[in-house]
């Protein structure tokens, strides 16, 4: 456990910020971490070398992973938390470049018409003959009506290098309606639903427009 380069002041600030988010007082934090308020203050002033187990208890009370407490970085944090590059370069991708980035399969987001607003849900997809296909439950949230207008988006972000790309497909959703088509789609790489359960309905997104962007440095 590397702690020698960690600034105690940075850790203390992260703990205070987290307590503010949770509406937790110093006394409440100390009580739940099984220490006195005075000991808590001493620990925060001294840094993680003073009492690593005590700091681990604090992290557990605050629902923070150990790396997040030490460095401010969550292992499962959403992308885009690092500062943007001072001189970003935005490039528009051609349709062949978009399909190359989509690959043969992966995880994307399907945008569906909703009762009061569009609904966006993550699904794992396969690419088949320049269309996107995914499996879902017939009455599930990701099951659009046959012929419904939909959007499909896939992206990749590299926070450390300030780079990324996104591909957006606009089109219509169509249900696979023959056993042969369903069987063939089921044999493609990445066809097994990540969400598990019974998801026999194949939805195919037939594109009417494919656009993409890449952002990086000049």
The domains of the chain, with CATH numbers, are 8-71 (1.10.260.40), 88-217 (2.30.110.10)
Q: What is the pLDDT of residue 77?
A: 58
Q: Give pLDDT < 70 ranges for the chain.
A: 1-6, 73-87, 159-161, 217-218
Enumerate the H helices of the chain as residue ranges: 8-22, 26-32, 37-46, 52-62, 66-71, 95-102, 179-186
Q: How far apart are CA 89 and CA 54, in angstroms?
A: 45
Q: What is the pLDDT of residue 165?
A: 93
Q: What is the pLDDT of residue 4?
A: 43
Q: What is the pLDDT of residue 195?
A: 81
Q: What is the pLDDT of residue 102?
A: 95
Give the model confidence (pLDDT) of 69-115 as tens digits: 887 766 655 666 665 566 678 899 999 999 999 999 999 999 998 88
Burial 175-199 (b: 16+ CB within 10 A, else e): bbeeeeebeebeeeebbebeeeeeb
């Amino acid at each position: 456990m590397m702690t020698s380069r960690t600034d105690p002041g940075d850790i203390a600030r992260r703990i205070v910020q987290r307590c503010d988010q949770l509406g937790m007082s110093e006394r409440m934090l100390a009580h739940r971490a099984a220490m006195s308020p005075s000991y808590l203050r001493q620990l925060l002033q001294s840094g993680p070398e003073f009492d690593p187990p005590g700091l681990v208890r604090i992290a557990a009370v605050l629902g923070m992973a150990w790396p997040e407490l030490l460095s401010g970085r969550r292992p499962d944090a959403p992308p885009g938390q690092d500062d943007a590059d001072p001189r970003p370069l935005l490039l528009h991708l051609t349709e062949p470049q978009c399909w190359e980035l989509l690959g043969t399969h992966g995880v994307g987001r399907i945008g569906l018409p909703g009762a009061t607003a569009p609904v966006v849900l993550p699904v794992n997809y396969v690419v088949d003959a320049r269309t996107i296909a995914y499996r879902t439950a017939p009455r599930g949230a990701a099951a659009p009506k046959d012929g419904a207008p939909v959007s499909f988006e896939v992206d990749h972000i590299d926070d450390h290098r300030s780079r990324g790309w996104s591909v957006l497909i606009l089109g219509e959703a169509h249900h696979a309606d023959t056993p042969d088509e369903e069987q063939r789609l089921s044999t493609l790489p990445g066809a097994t639903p990540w969400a598990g359960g019974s998801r026999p309905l194949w939805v195919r997104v037939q594109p009417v427009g494919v656009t993409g962007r890449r952002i990086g440095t000049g």
